[in-house]
């Protein structure tokens, strides 16, 4: 992998991740850009004991541009985008409209009640462009290219985890307009949080209590149970297993676990990274075949916090969730889910797993849902 670092016109970092045989990339950004906002702040909810990020400057971010005005496509002689080069394999750059910033100064808010703490929203938000092909999707990448994305995630996990104040690194992909995606180009994001997120705190706390009772790792035992049952396993390989969890919250939900417990993406071996690329592409193509359409989804990496007492309880895994409950219907979070956090699902996990197993022989659906 060839790694090339440069800066955009407003000082944001951009990094090209290319195949070793790729040509040199254009590094100069000729645009004139306004400074990036540093107004992000965090406010602590004392009732739920959770931090909420306030980033009002994001209201003005780019929203559903035309294909010929996509900011994630390569630059041309007549149109300059976020990527100065005329081509790229995988590229990462700091978000122009970040929820968190290493330079954040927001936080002084008059009139807040005494119980509500506030701090600058210090952290980092990056955009990961999976390919220069605007009409592609992760599911249509070649295995070698998908492996390059995995190596990119590993690189950024290590680099962002080393930044001062960063507690957790979260790579993810939002796909589809139904999910809220505003740019159709195939891409993901990485958030470097200054706190351990609520979902991770809950999962790792449960894992710690389970370990105290049993001496075993909770995630490892969940994986072993699913592999032993086989009722919800979609596909497995030497290094990975993809299954629909028995207590799925979403109409379509797939968890992808390495068969060997590791804490984070950088800990994966070369063989595990290669195997993941093959298996994950298979899973994504099955998801697109489910309703014969590009499925909207959120793909979220759960990896260990940077330096938390519960770090050793973690087990790296990927969760892919979709709100598409049928070919023409979406699941909305209504009273029970929104008000109480108690999920009600309209489909049985075993049925979803069976349909995804059966979808394995279907051809892939090309293109993002935007």
Distant-in-sequence, close-in-space partners of 277: CB < 8 Å, separation ≥ 6 = 143, 144, 146, 147, 149, 150
Taking residue 189's Cβ as centre, other Cβ atoms within 10 Å add up to 16
Distance CA 369, CA 177 (A): 6
What are the distances in angstroms from CA 7 to CA 82, 83, 102, 361? Answer: 11, 10, 16, 44
Question: Which pLDDT belongs to residue 361?
Answer: 62
Residue 320: its H or E element: strand 317-322
Distance CA 198, CA 45 (A): 12
Q: Which of 134, 187, 255, 317 is catalytic?
A: 187
Report the CATH superfamily, name and number, of domain 2-197: HIT-like (3.30.428.10)
Specify the 3-state DSSP secondary structure of 130.
Answer: coil
57 catalytic per annotation: no
In the chain, the percentage of residues whose pLDDT exceeds 70 is: 97
* Pairing mode, strands 41-45 and 50-54: antiparallel
Specify the 3-state DSSP secondary structure of 120.
Answer: strand
Q: Is the separation of the CB atoms in 298 and 320 below 8 Å?
A: yes
Spell out the domain ranges in the chain. 2-197, 199-361
Distance CA 147, CA 188 (A): 15
Token readout for 263 is 């804490």
For the chain, list residues with pLDDT below 50: 363-370
End-to-end CA distance of the chain: 30
Q: Is the separation of the CB atoms in 153 and 301 below 8 Å?
A: yes
Q: Is the separation of the CB atoms in 174 and 367 below 8 Å?
A: no
CATH annotation of 199-361: 3.30.428.10
Is there a common fold for 2-197 and 199-361?
yes
Token readout for 56 is 């009002």
Residue range 165-220, pLDDT digits in tens: 999 999 999 999 999 999 999 999 999 999 999 999 999 999 999 999 999 999 99
Question: Which pLDDT belongs to residue 233?
Answer: 98
Q: Which of left, alpha, beta for 180 (phi over 0: left; psi -120 to 50: alpha)?
A: left
Distance CA 108, CA 219 (A): 40
């Amino acid at each position: 992998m060839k790694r090339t670092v440069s800066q955009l016109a407003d000082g944001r970092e951009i990094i090209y991740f290319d195949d070793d045989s790729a040509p040199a990339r254009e590094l100069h950004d000729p645009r004139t850009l306004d400074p990036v906002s540093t107004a992000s702040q965090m406010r602590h909810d004392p009732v739920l004991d959770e931090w909420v990020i306030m980033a009002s400057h994001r209201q003005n971010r780019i929203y559903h541009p035309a294909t010929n005005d996509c900011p994630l496509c390569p630059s041309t002689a007549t149109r300059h985008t976020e990527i100065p080069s005329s081509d790229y394999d995988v590229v990462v750059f700091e978000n122009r409209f970040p929820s968190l910033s290493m330079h954040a100064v927001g936080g002084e808010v008059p009139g807040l009640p005494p119980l509500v703490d506030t701090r600058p929203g210090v952290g980092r938000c990056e955009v990961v462009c999976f390919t220069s092909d605007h009409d592609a999707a992760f599911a249509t990448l070649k295995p070698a290219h998908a492996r390059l994305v995995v190596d990119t995630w590993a690189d950024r996990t290590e680099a962002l985890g080393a930044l001062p104040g960063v507690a957790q690194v979260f790579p993810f992909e939002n796909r589809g307009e139904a999910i809220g995606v505003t740019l159709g180009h195939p891409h993901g994001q990485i958030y470097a949080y200054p706190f351990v997120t609520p979902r991770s705190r809950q999962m790792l706390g449960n894992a710690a209590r389970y370990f105290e009772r049993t001496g075993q790792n909770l995630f490892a035992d969940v994986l072993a149970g699913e592999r032993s049952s086989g009722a919800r396993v979609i596909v497995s390989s030497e290094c990975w297993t993809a299954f629909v969890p028995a207590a799925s919250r979403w109409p379509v939900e797939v968890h992808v676990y390495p068969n060997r417990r590791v804490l984070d993406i950088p800990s994966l071996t070369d063989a595990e990274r290669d195997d993941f690329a093959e298996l994950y592409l298979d899973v994504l193509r099955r998801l697109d075949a489910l309703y014969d359409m590009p499925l909207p989804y959120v793909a979220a990496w759960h990896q260990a916090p940077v330096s938390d007492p519960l770090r050793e309880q973690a087990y790296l895994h990927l969760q892919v969730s979709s709100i598409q409950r049928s070919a023409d219907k979406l699941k909305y979070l209504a009273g029970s889910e929104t008000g109480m956090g108690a999920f009600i699902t309209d489909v049985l996990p075993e049925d979803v797993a069976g349909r995804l197993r059966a979808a394995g022989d279907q051809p892939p659906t090309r293109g993002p849902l935007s």
